[in-house]
Amino acid sequence: MNLSLTPEIEKWVNERVKTGRYTGASELVREAIRRLMDYELVQEAARGKIEAAIDEAHASIQRGEGLTPEEFERRHQQRKAEHLKKKPAKAA
């Protein structure tokens, strides 16, 4: 496999290799790809959790368990007030 890099990226890769942390550009690129793969797995898992939460929320609404707009606003204001109580006061 051959890769084409922009001059800016090639310069960055070469600078990192010169630090001695990597034995060559190939090692750096492999490490970068492994990290990207890990990142994508985490993102996929997070997306799955969000989608499951949305599905559950939708199902609860379908069962008539949703909040009225008034109840939602009341809870929101309550959480906001609790959050503000926890914030440390700014020094004068």
Confidence at residue 90, expressed as pLDDT on a 0 to 100 scale: 67
Q: Residues 33-76: pLDDT tens digits?
A: 999 999 999 999 999 999 999 999 999 989 988 888 899 999 99
Confidence at residue 38, expressed as pLDDT on a 0 to 100 scale: 98
Which residue type does 21 have?
R
Distance CA 31, CA 18 (A): 16
Instruction: Check whether 92 has a pLDDT greater than 80.
Output: no
> Nearest CA to 2 among 25, 36, 32, 20?
25
> Nearest CA to 30 among 19, 43, 16?
16
Dig out the tokens for 16 from the structure.
Answer: 């990192």
Q: Packing angle between helix 7-18 and helix 25-62, nearest 10 degrees?
A: 110
* pTM score: 0.60
Residues with Cβ within 8 Å of residue 16, at least 6 apart in sequence? 22, 28
Q: Residues 2-21: pLDDT tens digits?
A: 889 999 999 999 999 999 99
